[in-house]
Structure 1
Amino acid sequence: MKIAFIYPGQGAQYTGMGKEIYDNFSEAREIFEEANDSLGYDIARLCFEGPDEELMKTENTQPAILTVSIALTKVLSNKGLKADVTAGLSLGEYSALVYSGVLSFKDAVRLVKKRGEYMQNAVPIGIGGMAAIIGLDNETVENICCDVKDVGIVEPANYNCPGQLSIAGEIKALEKAVEIAKAKGAKKAVMLPVSAPFHCSMLKEAGFKLEEDLKEIYTYDMSVPVITNVTADYERIDEVKKMLVKQVSSPVLWEQSIRRMIEDHVDTFIEIGPGKTLTGFMKRIDKTKKAVNFEDMGTLDKLLSSLEVN
């Protein structure tokens, strides 16, 4: 068995996430306390009680998901589970880098709060957004993006799984792209309820600001290989910061990242964090591989049982 730990990104959050694990494991509580110290506010209360409108703010969502993901990871580590490789979708890449030892948790949680602020503020509300296109192949969607460039910026943003690609850019151009996608037979083409055009060139300014913060961050040796979103290949320790800057305005090559791990004989994928979005993607990418999620006591029991861990 070759295991990958995979981590979800923004959009997976919900009020109450992580509470059962916090209540049952001291190592999880320690991570929340460390986050509180680093951020200067009670991240546990935000995760467990909301309110939703605060949890949904990008600058809060990102440190909240990271904290829950690393708290869950500590529990698995104490159960003796280890990964041979790790990756995360967008924000989730920071969880992967913490697990691999490259970033300290206290640095990462502060960094992603800043990242959230920069990404949200890079484009004025109402100017940019995202859309999901389901049921068309990647090349068709890429061509649609080219077809509407006279209307405005639209670019591929998230290559999630076969037949599911999200695009990002200017609202008018996105609406035109959605219209064309429907005409070309997309099963679904809809605007997404997000307030910024994540992972496209409109966020380059956010990347530049993040780059300044990264100059102050120390990176450590990598104990577990990391697959990066930008290239869908193994991260080089000397390029971590550069990739994190590029990631802000580059498409997330998630399907390609999973396939890279499968090429290297990974057969068990454990999604660690709120929700089971990545587990769902796995079923579309390669349903012959084991894919399980861990977010609460129920999923922990199922995970340990499926892996025959006590």
Structure 2
Amino acid sequence: MTCYLFPGQGAQYPGMGRNLYEHSTEVRLLFEEASNNSGKDFAKLLFEGSEEELKSTDNTQIAVTLVNLASSQVLSERGIVPDICAGFSLGEYSALYQSGVITRGDLFSLVQLRGEIMERASRALDSSEGSAGMMAVIGLELDSVEAAIADIESVYVANHSSPIQVVLAGTDKAMSVAEIKLNEAGAIKIVHLKVSGPFHSPLMAAAREEFSEHIANTRFSDPTISVFVNVTGKSLRSGEDAKKYCLEQLISPVQWVASERGIMELFPERVLETGPGTVLSGLWKSLRNGLKCVAAGTLESINKLTD
């Protein structure tokens, strides 16, 4: 039994996906479809663009999704397909496509709209004091983080990433105050993330409202394989539930630890990080469950699986 874990925003880097693009005709067709859908040349953006260009949410979301799907495509060409899948934040849309909940055309349309809407909502929160954003708190358990930020307005738990890593979202001023409190509480390290907004928090309520019409007009089917969703950390039951969770995900924390533990209860034999980077492999390792998550987002890493 194989599980795919699809990374989300923050996993991007310039040049990602190039060797998959050069290797597979079907991957090149994926890029062409995404570029036609969005009006942007994504091969040029990924392979020639700067890190700053990729960081912009309206670019990042399709870019990461493209590399997720490219990785899945090349794995399938090698005879490797998933029985279980999950995606971190944006990566959940790749998981919904992989499990048959949404079509590829709807995937690209929704991801593009989601990126544009989230970027607008994030920029509306900018002030002279700085931009709203996210930061990872390493070395503290969830309860300790929640206690440290309890009295600070406009900062929220956004991701329960691992037993000792929690991501916060908030305004620039609130995050600065929170950082002091968290260091006092014993945080080992605090990392400001390469994202352009305070995602998965109530600060994205305007984005949820704007996105709701697009979600309502999209067909969501029941999943054909097990897919774990961020809002609950549990396996998805129906397409109707998926539609609801796509909206709630914008303002709710990512329950990644719960998802990982639910996946382990299905006893997968292999877990693959199907997309750019190794962030999810590192988070999986922190569970210390004895099963390794293997990176599968480059041609070299996929070749190692099949040699």
Q: What TM-score, normalized by structure 1, do the two folds share?
A: 0.93
Which residue number in structure 2 is paired with residue 107 of structure 1?
106
Change (3 A) 1:55 1:193: closer
Alignment of 1:177 onto 2:157: no
Which residue number in structure 1 is paired with residue 246 of structure 2?
244
1:182 is displaced (CA, Å) by 0.7
1-side partners of 2:92 and 2:118: how far apart? Answer: 16
Q: Aligned with 1:167: secondary structure?
A: strand
2-side partners of 1:29 and 1:191: how far apart? Answer: 33
Q: Aligned with 1:158: secondary structure?
A: strand
1:226 is displaced (CA, Å) by 0.9
1:53 is displaced (CA, Å) by 2.6
Q: Which amino acid letter does the alignment assign opposite residue 270 of structure 2?
A: T
Q: 1:134 is matched with which residue: 135, 138, 141?
A: 138
Task: Within 5 Å, give how 1:269-284 maps onto structure 2.
Answer: 269-284=271-286
Q: Aligned with 1:30: secondary structure?
A: helix
Gaps of at least 5 residues in structure 2 are none
Q: Aligned with 1:226: secondary structure?
A: strand
Q: Which amino acid letter does the alignment assign opposite residue 143 of structure 1?
A: A
Q: 1:145 is matched with which residue: 127, 145, 149?
A: 149
1:212 is displaced (CA, Å) by 0.8
Deviates more, 1:89-98 or 1:79-88: 79-88
1-side partners of 2:180 and 2:211: how far apart? Answer: 35
Task: Within 5 Å, give how 1:37-48 maps onto structure 2.
Answer: 37-48=36-47
Gaps of at least 5 residues in structure 1 are 306-310
1:45-90 Cα shifts (integer Å, max 9, x gaps): 1111113332221001000111111122111112221211110000
Q: Aligned with 2:36: secondary structure?
A: helix
1-side partners of 2:270 and 2:304: how far apart? Answer: 14
Q: Aligned with 1:235: secondary structure?
A: coil
Deviates more, 1:160-169 or 1:295-304: 295-304
2-side partners of 1:266 and 1:160: how far apart? Answer: 20
Change (3 A) 1:180 1:50: same
Task: Within 5 Å, give how 1:148-227 maps onto structure 2.
Answer: 148=152, 152-227=153-228
1:198 is displaced (CA, Å) by 1.0
Change (3 A) 1:6 1:205: same
Q: Which amino acid letter does the alignment assign opposite residue 305 of structure 2?
A: L
Q: Aligned with 2:272: secondary structure?
A: strand
Q: Aligned with 1:234: secondary structure?
A: coil
1-side partners of 2:156 and 2:12: how far apart? Answer: 25
Which residue number in structure 1 is paired with residue 57 of structure 2?
58
1:193 is displaced (CA, Å) by 4.5
1-side partners of 2:229 and 2:277: how far apart? Answer: 21
Which residue number in structure 2 is paired with residue 92 of structure 1?
91
2-side partners of 1:40 and 1:104: how far apart? Answer: 19
Alignment of 1:26 onto 2:52: no
2-side partners of 1:238 and 1:215: how far apart? Answer: 10
Which residue number in structure 2 is paired with residue 308 of structure 1?
none
* Contact 2:55 2:195 (8 Å CA) reproduced: no
Aligned pair count reads 301
1:266 is displaced (CA, Å) by 2.2
Deviates more, 1:11-20 or 1:121-130: 121-130
* Contact 2:55 2:194 (8 Å CA) reproduced: no
1:273-296 Cα shifts (integer Å, max 9, x gaps): 110110111111135113111122
1:10-67 Cα shifts (integer Å, max 9, x gaps): 0111111111011111121121122122112211111111133322210010001111
Which residue number in structure 2 is paired with residue 294 of structure 1?
296
* Contact 1:133 1:190 (8 Å CA) reproduced: yes
Q: Which amino acid letter does the alignment assign opposite residue 208 of structure 2?
A: G
Q: What TM-score, normalized by structure 2, do the two folds share?
A: 0.93
- Identical-residue share of aligned pairs (%): 40
1-side partners of 2:68 and 2:33: how far apart? Answer: 14
Deviates more, 1:47-56 or 1:13-22: 47-56
1-side partners of 2:260 and 2:222: how far apart? Answer: 23
1:190 is displaced (CA, Å) by 4.3
Deviates more, 1:82-91 or 1:291-300: 291-300
